[in-house]
Amino acid sequence: MKGRPIQILIVEDSPSDAFIVTEALKHGQEPTEVFAVHDGVEAMEFLRHHGKYADAPRPDLILLDLNMPRKDGREVLAEIKADERLKTIPVIVLTSSAADQDVLTAYRLHANCYLAKPADFSKFKEMVQTVETFWFRNVTLPPR
C-alpha cells in the first residue's frame, strides 16, 4: 500500500452523508482516493467492473450504508462476502441504524465493523477520522 493512496468505496444514498465522509477522508492524514456510489446495484457494478465502472479500481476498504434503494446494504454485503474475488475487501457498515437486529445481521454476513452514524455533524466527522486512524494506520489491509 505504500506509495499509493488508499482507495475507498463509499456506498451511500444520502448525498450529505457521502459528502461528510469524503471531506473527512480528504482532509485526513493519509492519502486517499474516494469513490462514491448511490445504491447497492451501483456498488456491485463498481466492484465487478460492469458498464461505466469497467476501469474502476479494486477498493482497499468499503464503507457501506444498510438502507438504500434498489439493493440494500445487507444484500450487497452478502454478495461481497460470497464472492471469492471480493470477500477479502474489508467492509465497514456505516449506517444510521443502531438496531440490535441490524448489527447482528451485518456481523452474520461477515461485516468487518459496524458503526452507527451520529446525528451530530462534528461527531460524525470525528468518527470518520477515527476510522481513518484505525484502518489506515493500525490495520494491515489485505494485498490487492
* Domain count along the chain: 1
Mean pLDDT of the chain: 89
Instruction: Name 26's Cβ contacts closer than 8 Å, sequence gap at least 6.
Output: 32, 34
Classify residue 143: in a domain, yes or no.
Answer: no
pLDDT value, residue 2: 55
Instruction: Name 61's Cβ contacts closer than 8 Å, sequence gap at least 6.
Output: 6, 7, 8, 9, 89, 90, 91, 92, 135, 141
CATH code at position 83: 3.40.50.2300
Name the residue range of residue 78's domain. 9-135
Classify residue 140: in a domain, yes or no.
Answer: no
- How far apart CA 80 and CA 110 sit, in angstroms, is 10
pLDDT bin (cut points 50, 70, 90) of residue 104 is very high
Statement: residue 93 has pLDDT above 70: yes
What is the tens place of the pLDDT at every residue in 18-30? 888 888 888 777 7
Classify residue 60: in a domain, yes or no.
Answer: yes
